[in-house]
Structure 1
Amino acid sequence: MDTVITVTGEQSANDLGVTLPHEHLIIDASIWVPDGPELTAIQRRKLEESVSMENLWWLAAYGRQPKWNSLDNRRLDDVETAKREAMRFVAEGGETLVDVTPMSPGLGRDPGALKRIANHTGLNVVAGTGHYVRHAHPPRIDDQSASEIADEMVGDIVDGIDGTGVRAGVIGEIGATNGFSDHPNEKTVFRAAAIAQQRTGAPITIHPPVHYKEGHDVLDVLEEAGANLTNVILGHLDGAMELDNASAYYDSLAERGVSLEFDTFGRIGYIASEDVCFPLDETRIRELRRLFDKGYGDQLLVSHDICKKNQLTKYAGHGYDYILRDIVPRLRRREFSETEITSLLVDNPARALTIEE
């Protein structure tokens, strides 16, 4: 039987149903918020504000700029809110959600909370392991070998996380930052992920440098360390969609056998600090159509990467049900077949999340 590891136990991959392969129910993503002398007085004041009706406007307008953010907005730490938000996905027909919050300290991974959410909602919830980007690494990474780091990942998958008995089902999201080739600790973590994949058969899910075309660099490190690239998910690829020759970049990645994940649906707009743009959802849909027509349809995944309060419906965001509520009808209007839609939402995630024998 093709098996997926969820927080409540092993599950047949055939029973996952409609799946979001890259989300966060519980996370502290405040590592992305700078806190230093470069902040102005007003930026520092905004940093300390709690999310409210009075400041949702500036979070929507400026919250993508690292210096114009809110620590509170970057924290999803309320289990009851997570339950209600997840139930909206369930109400639209959702059945499985992958929380890719990894083990790096400070990110707020909470396997017990994930299990409570799963039991309350009836969702299959898959948890992650491994380490995120370098500025989230614990100091011990400086002195650990890839094999030692892999031991920690394997323990989460085989025995359970932090003594809870709740097992991780994916390795990741493993993080890489711009200039990945010059970051030795990140490369060590990627080698560790490859070792853990070989020992457990668990899939690897990757956070690459989001607005850059460095996917091949991270895949090269994984492949050289023995990873099976057909059991690797390369995420955040829509972050590169506005770059020159993005389609050729996607095709070249697909030729290596990885799953291509377009996982920031609902996130649009310009980021001044990086001089980059997230694409319109219509642009994402057109690129999915092109990739299906090129023959890569069985390698495509879609999700939202919800990691901030103002992405939740409670705070005027689109919520975990956005793809089912809004994008799927648009796919039908763009003449995607029901078979293609099922591939995106059901068949491809089931295959990507299966534990290799």
Structure 2
Amino acid sequence: MVEELNFFKRNGGSSVVDCTTLGIRRDVGKLKKISMETGVNVICGAGYYEACTHPPNMDTLTEEQLVSTIVNDITRGADGTDVRCGVIGEIGCSWPMTDNERKVLKATVTAQSETGCPVIIHPGRHKDAPSEIIRVLQEAGGDVGATVMSHLDCTFFEPEDVMEFASLGSYLEWDFFGLEVSHCQWADIDMPNDAMRIKMIRQVLEEGHADKVVISHDVDTKHRLMHYGGHGYSHILLNVVPMMLNRGISQEDINKILVENPKK
């Protein structure tokens, strides 16, 4: 990790959002150590992932108890440390959404309102999943404008579907940059490559949504790190940005996607 982030920093990177939440082996102590060694900001996530990773007692945990855990991780410190989380997420949802996942979403809204923290959502593998999640958030009083919907690469494949969802006002995240294989291990779909991701993003930008686009790699396996022969954390900076420029995306919009929108 230190090797990867030092290279990332040398190539212009300054911050990484780590979306490892409770249930998928979050280790904020290690994140702090890595951040201190490299000088790269690491923002860690609070909350819960998909139902299959929930604690055994999730059925009996109340919404208030979930709120307390999330707020504590943001305001006091997570995993028994003094490291405070900077985002709520990646909050995991299945398709169809389970009752406990819906409970977590509602707790997320309350924690967001108490802390002002942004929310990052992992939608279920269906094109209707993101809009259903937004409805739940809205009904609970959530701030959709401070919510990021992840994994649009493997959720929307037609421009009209993306545009319809974009009208709801959340941030739009294409986050599998560097995955250049059509096989998807999570669902029976054909994954896009980077060129197709850029084409979809350009269409979204042309429709006036430049202030709501963010991108990432979603590195979650060793083989995607440079040390093991992968593209690493610098692929977007070194390879994707030049592709974007060559395909007609302006430097101004790229700055929004890589700097201004994440900063907000």
**TM-score, with normalisation over the residues of structure 2?**
0.96
1:194 is matched with which residue? Answer: 109
Would you say the 8 A contact 1:238–1:284 is kept in 2? yes
Distance 1:226 1:331, change over 3 A: same
Map Cα deviations across residues 258-314 of structure 1 (whole Å, 9 max, x no partner): 000101111132237732121011110011111110000110000000000111111
Matched residue of 2:59: which SS? helix
Give the Cα separation in 1 of the matches to 2:192 and 2:228. Answer: 22
Distance 1:319 1:112, change over 3 A: same
2:122 maps to a residue whose letter is H
2:3 is matched with which residue? Answer: 84
Residue 211 of structure 1 deviates from its aligned partner by 5.2
Percent identical = 37
Give the Cα separation in 2 of the matches to 1:274 and 1:236. Answer: 12
Is 1:238 the counterpart of 2:158? The answer is no
Distance 1:86 1:138, change over 3 A: same
Matched residue of 1:206: which SS? strand
Give the Cα separation in 1 of the matches to 2:8 and 2:185. Answer: 32
Would you say the 8 A contact 2:43–2:86 is kept in 1? yes
Equivalent of 2:37, from 116, 120, 127? 120
1:215 is matched with which residue? Answer: 130
2:176 is matched with which residue? Answer: 264
Is 1:293 the counterpart of 2:179? The answer is no
1:195 maps to a residue whose letter is T
1:216 maps to a residue whose letter is S
Question: Equivalences for 1:329-344 in 2 at 5 Å?
Answer: 329-344=242-257
Map Cα deviations across residues 205-235 of structure 1 (whole Å, 9 max, x no partner): 0011145431011111111111110010000
In the alignment of these two chains, the number of paired residues is 263
Residue 162 of structure 1 deviates from its aligned partner by 2.4
Give the Cα separation in 2 of the matches to 1:147 and 1:223. Answer: 19
Q: Which deviates more, 336-345 or 204-213?
A: 204-213
Give the Cα separation in 1 of the matches to 2:104 and 2:170. Answer: 19
Would you say the 8 A contact 1:102–1:132 is kept in 2? yes
Map Cα deviations across residues 79-126 of structure 1 (whole Å, 9 max, x no partner): xxx11111221111000100010122xx22111111111111111110
1:142 is matched with which residue? Answer: 59
Would you say the 8 A contact 1:211–1:276 is kept in 2? no
Matched residue of 1:141: which SS? coil
1:228 is matched with which residue? Answer: 143
Q: Which deviates more, 170-179 or 269-278?
A: 269-278
Is 1:348 the counterpart of 2:249? The answer is no
1:97 is matched with which residue? Answer: 16
Give the Cα separation in 2 of the matches to 1:215 and 1:274. Answer: 16
Would you say the 8 A contact 1:85–1:313 is kept in 2? yes
Residue 256 of structure 1 deviates from its aligned partner by 1.4
Structure 1, gaps ≥5 residues long: 1-81, 352-357
Would you say the 8 A contact 2:51–2:92 is kept in 1? yes
Residue 158 of structure 1 deviates from its aligned partner by 0.5
RMSD, aligned α-carbons = 1.3
Give the Cα separation in 1 of the matches to 2:186 and 2:142. Answer: 34
Would you say the 8 A contact 1:102–1:128 is kept in 2? yes
2:196 is matched with which residue? Answer: 283
Q: Which has the higher contact order (CA 8 A, sep 6+)?
A: 1
Give the Cα separation in 2 of the matches to 1:95 and 1:146. Answer: 35
Structure 2, gaps ≥5 residues long: none
Over alpha carbons, which structure has the higher Rg? 1
Give the Cα separation in 1 of the matches to 2:42 and 2:190. Answer: 31
Equivalent of 2:233, from 315, 320, 331? 320
Is 1:158 the counterpart of 2:75? The answer is yes
Give the Cα separation in 2 of the matches to 1:124 and 1:273. Answer: 30
Give the Cα separation in 2 of the matches to 1:147 and 1:216. Answer: 25
